[in-house]
Structure formats: C-alpha cells, structure tokens
A = this chain, B = another copy of it.
Amino acid sequence: MKWKARHLLVLALAVVDGLASGTPVLAQSDPLPSWNEGAAKQAIVKFVEATTTQGSPKFVPPAERIATFDQDGTLWVEHPMYSQIVYCFDRVPAVVRAKPELANVEPFKTVLSGNREAIAKLSMDDLFKILAATLTGMSVEDFKAEAKKWLDTAKDPRWKRPYTELTYAPMQEVLKYLRANGYRTYIVTGGGQDFVRMYADEVYGIPPEQVVGTASGTKYGYTKNGKPFLTKEPKLLLNDNNAGKVEGIYLMIGRRPYAAFGNSTGDRQMLEYTKAGAGERLAMLVLHDDAQREYAYGPAQGLPATKVGTFTQALYDQATREGWVVISMKSDWKRIFTFEP
C-alpha cells in the first residue's frame, strides 16, 4: 500500500507541476530523432497515432497493444555471425576440459583446431551438436553464470565493443516510442530464449517474461541438500523461427501483435500473421544495405547473398505486395548505433 500511495503522489506532483508551469505534460519533441524523414518513419508515427488516439476508428485498447521484434539483425548486429553462436564456439574449450574425451570427437576436434576454413564447412548437424553441448546439460544457474561472464567480457572484433552495445539506435527509439504509447514490446527471436533473457532487460528494457525465443526443455531435480533446481535438457521445445515464431507468440502471449519487426525470411510468418489481424497493423523489415556503416546483405535488391539473416527478393516482393514497410538502413537511419554522435 505505502509504495503505491507514494508512487501515485510523485506522479501527481509531476503532472500538477507541468500544468502549473504551462509546459505540456509530455514533451512533443520528435520521438524518433535517429530516423530520416521518409515513408518508414511516417509509417511508424501514423500507426501509433491511429491505434492510440481516443476516438480514432483504429483505436486499440491498451491491454491489446502488443509489438513483437525479432532480435538478430533487427535490434542488433547479426553479421558476420549471430553472437550466440560466437558464445557457443567460445565455450567449446571449457566443455572439452570438463569432458576430455570430446577432444578427439567431431565437430569438437575441428573447433579446437582453430582452422577457420574447416570450421566454416561444419554442417548444420555439427552446429546442433555444438549448441547442445554448450547450452544444455547444466543447471540454469550455471548457464546464467557462464553466459554473464562472456557477455561482460567478449567484444565484437569490428567495433571492439561488447556485443550488447551493438544495438541500433533507431530501433531503440521505436521500442521506447511504442512503450510510451502503451504498447508492450516483446522480443520474438530464433536465438536462445535463456540467452537473450540474460541481457534484454538491461539492453532493451524488455523483461524476461517478454522474451520469446528458441527454447529447450528443462528438468526438475534436487541437490544433495534437497534444494530444487532446473537442468537445461537437450530437447527442443520451441524452434522459434519461421512458422515457429507465430506458434511461439500464440503459446507465450496468446494475442496477435499489432506491430511486428523483422529483417529476414525467418520473420515472414510473424509479419503475415500480424498483418492478417483486423484494424491497423504494422509490419516492417530492416534491409541491411549499408556496407559502410554496418553490413550489406540480401540477396534482395542485388545485395550480396548470405546465410546469416537472408533477405530474399521473394520476401522483398511480398513486402511490396502486402503493404509491409522495408526500412533501408542506408537512407532511413541517420545513425546506426547509440554510441555514435
């Protein structure tokens, strides 16, 4: 009770202060200063105004205001490789120290060799073995401790900064702008749910319960002292990619988003499902077309092909056909990162 009363009082005083001084209660300054004027920025502002202005025919009640964001390539850098994959490769030596018999078993042998060419040729099956060995088979607390150590120390080689600083300033503004207008922002990522939950609150202001990701099962057990704990099992519960994103949204949120943001073919179904709802819906795709300030890859629009965050021409054409908005990093974003001036 006491906390709530004080909270209300502070709020009241702030508002009254604003009214008395004649200044507007909420500043009317540009909520998206890192965006150039253009169709993409306009689409966002138009969407927010249509769905949150009382009396608008497209008004959405606050409880239903859900916006979902892919993470890798949409909120932060995913090239040359998803940071979580870098984490998994970095963990291999420690895994082999704990289980020395793996040193001569593939794919661990190849990873330990440091032979980049050989590593680049590893199959998807090999990759899954590395993910399983580095992300499962330990208690959730042990996993968190290891991941935290890495997140605190590992640096991206190009920007020489922690991976968690490589988030896009314009997208951070969209998150804040939506939340300031009553939207709850969710991450819906193909990345590991547990991994992203480690930093999503600090990095994006998105709490763990609003992170939906690829998830393995857990197993309940007891320590020798009878204290219960969960172990991460090598059993895939939710493959949160492609159609799995829609299934994950249905499972974990149970509401259809009003806005969805992605950057690759893995986000197609999430955007389709979002746009298929009644009323005003927003679907946006980030196109990485800025090799100088970040990276350029597609293969849409003649950009170089990639296996990491593929944006096909078919996806681009579908976006055009269905009224999704493609964000050009190069022309829509004034700056890329928050650490830039």
Contacts and interface: CB of A to CB of B under 8 A. Distances in A.
Interface of A: 1-6, 8-9, 11-12, 15-16, 19, 24-26, 28, 52-54, 62-63, 140, 180-182, 193-194, 197, 201, 207-209, 211, 215, 217-220, 227-228, 230, 237-238, 243, 246-247, 250-255, 269, 272-273, 276
A5 B255 CA distance: 26
A233 to B, nearest CB: 9
B11 A251 contact: no
Given A3-B54, A220-B246, 17 more contacts: A2-B53, A3-B181, A4-B180, A4-B182, A5-B26, A11-B11, A63-B207, A140-B250, A194-B254, A208-B255, A218-B246, A218-B250, A228-B273, A230-B247, A237-B237, A237-B251, A252-B252
Q: Which 10 A-B pairs have the closest CB atoms?
A: A208-B254, A220-B243, A12-B15, A12-B12, A5-B25, A209-B253, A218-B247, A228-B272, A8-B15, A220-B246
A52 B3 contact: yes
Given A1-B26, A5-B26, A26-B5, A220 B208 contact: no
The secondary-structure label for the interface of chain A is: helix
A4 B26 contact: yes
Nearest to A59: B3
A5 B23 CA distance: 12
Given A2-B52, A180-B4, A273-B228, A220 B247 contact: yes
A218 B248 CA distance: 9
Contact of A1 (B181, B238, B253): B181
Contact of A246 (B53, B54, B211, B228): B228
